[in-house]
Amino acid sequence: SRRLKVAAAQMGPIHLADSKASAVKRMMTMLRQAADAGCRFVVFPELALTTFFPRWWMADQAEIDRFFEAQMPSPETMPLFELAREKKVGFYLGYAELTEDGGRTRRFNTSILVGPDGRIIGKYRKVHLPGHSDHLPQAPFQHLEKRYFEVGDLGFNVWRMFDEDVVMGQCICNDRRWPETFRVMGLQGVEMVALGYNTPTDNIYFHEPPYRRVFHHLLSVQANAYQNGTWIVATAKAGKEDGFGMYGASVIVAPTGEIAAQAMSEADEVIMFDCDLSLGESIRQNVFNFARHRRPEHYRLITER
């Protein structure tokens, strides 16, 4: 059977005052731990280099742009890329991307797949941006992804990694709640999806208990893994950033929908699993054999509305 030992490198809080270099140092410690245990792929969180800055209202664009990367690898992340190449470990990294496009500055909530040779092989820009774009002074904190980022323009793709052996997909945080995210990758034969997230423990729009927030996270990744016969590696940035809580519950989910490994803390924590990639094949060849059983002629409304 084909196997890939992977790690979810959950991160504890990154405060406003923390430097990108200090976040990278923490990531390198975890990458080393994963590599020494035989992992060949490590998934880091969404916006892994900084605090989850969409919680802060900022009007000054220069202040906002401090959280963004105009190049990747950046000077701060270069040591992570070098360590990964030395250890021959691939990784997924989420960051805020600033790019010049035909004289226009564009900003995206982005993730990349980096091969074990240290080269960027795939980029994704977050499609489902949650939150709001105006200032909500009554709310305990903001969720300004719709203000600070454009909707991603690259779609949901898959890439062959590890000597063409593994069909890898990627998405970011809120995308995991949408079945369309995974079905589009499923239709391209995805075998493993890497995703990072930052999910506040409290809902600022309507009240719900924190345990229900974790339940909806697990429900989403477990159902989407099963319904597409794919592994999902979901990695949190967790804990209290400057007093604002985000849950952990990073998980490695099997194509059966079962949780193979789960983080116990809201701090830096590496969880690992030796994934059998053929496990998804029996699901994709039987119950979710798309070619045999899907009926897209009855799904038209999904793309028309």
Q: Which residues bind ligand CDT (CB under 6 A)?
A: 46, 130-131, 143, 173-174, 177, 197-199
Q: Which is nearer to ligand CDT, 134 or 274 (CB)?
A: 134
Q: For residue 88, indicate whether it is catalytic.
A: no
Cα 194 to Cα 304: distance, rounded to the nearest angstrom: 28
Q: For residue 173, indicate whether it is catalytic.
A: yes
Cα 296 to Cα 278: distance, rounded to the nearest angstrom: 26
Which position among 20, 39, 46, 171 bears the catalytic label? 46
**Least distance between ligand CDT and beta carbon 109 (Å):** 8
Residue by residue, DSSP assigns 254-278 as -TTS-EEEE--SSSSEEEEEEEETT
Helix (H, G, I), strand (E, B) or coil at 52: coil
| Amino acid making up residue 188 | Q
**Least distance between ligand CDT and beta carbon 111 (Å):** 12
**Least distance between ligand CDT and beta carbon 228 (Å):** 19
Closest CA to 173 of 147, 145, 153: 145
Which position among 39, 69, 87, 126 bears the catalytic label? 126
**Least distance between ligand CDT and beta carbon 203 (Å):** 6
Q: For residue 39, indicate whether it is catalytic.
A: no
Which position among 173, 191, 266, 275 bears the catalytic label? 173
| C-alpha torsion sign, points 254, 257, 261, 265 | positive
Q: Which is nearer to ligand CDT, 92 or 288 (CB)?
A: 92
Instruction: State the alpha helices, DSSP H only, in 89-205.
Output: 145-148, 179-186
Angle between helices 20-36 and 78-87 (to 10 degrees): 10
Provide the annotated active-site residues: 46, 126, 173
